[in-house]
């Protein structure tokens, strides 16, 4: 393989985002003309019933002439979702291995607390 062909396959700059069963790879690569472009690869892990696993990968190529439009649309789309649905991830509840983590928050002065003072003090000598 020629040296130029090997450079084309090499990542110039990379970042990885691990997100549960998915991993996203962001790579800067070089064209044959030594210009840069970005690849975004989604890799998703699938586990078989026998315990073995495999990965499915999907890749998109993003070229410099599309960067500004891509970033603008991505920003619009993420803002839309967060403005309409907030940041809470509700789809995790529907996964078979979902485990709810309970967070205890302090009640503010404006919130009414239910009356739970029905405790009875019993001395075991009285029984």
First to last CA, the chain: 89
Calculate the average pLDDT of the chain. Answer: 77
**Phi/psi at 53 (5° precision):** -145, 160
pLDDT for 61 beyond 60: yes
Structure tokens at 73: 């649309």
The reported pLDDT for the residue numbered 123 is 54
pLDDT at residue 100 in the model: 54
Domains and CATH numbers, the chain: 3-70 (3.10.450.700)
> What gap in Å lies between CA 63 and CA 35, rounded to an integer?
9
Mean pLDDT of 78-103: 73
Residue 30's Cβ-side half-sphere holds a number of Cα atoms within 13 Å equal to: 14
Q: Show the tokens assigned to 18.
A: 């691990």
- Average pLDDT, stretch 38-52? 90
pLDDT at 53 over 60: yes
């Amino acid at each position: 393989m020629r040296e130029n062909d090997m450079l084309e396959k090499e990542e110039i700059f990379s970042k990885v985002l691990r997100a549960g069963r998915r991993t996203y790879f962001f790579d800067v690569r070089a064209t044959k003309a030594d210009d840069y472009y970005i690849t975004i690869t989604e890799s998703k892990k699938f586990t078989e019933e026998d315990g073995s696993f495999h990965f499915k990968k999907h890749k998109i190529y993003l070229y410099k002439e599309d960067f500004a439009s891509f970033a603008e649309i991505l920003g619009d789309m993420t803002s839309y979702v967060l403005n309409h649905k907030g940041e809470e991830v509700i789809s995790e509840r529907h996964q078979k291995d979902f485990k709810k983590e309970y967070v205890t928050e302090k009640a503010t002065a404006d919130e009414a607390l239910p009356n739970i003072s029905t405790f009875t003090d019993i001395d075991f000598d009285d029984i």
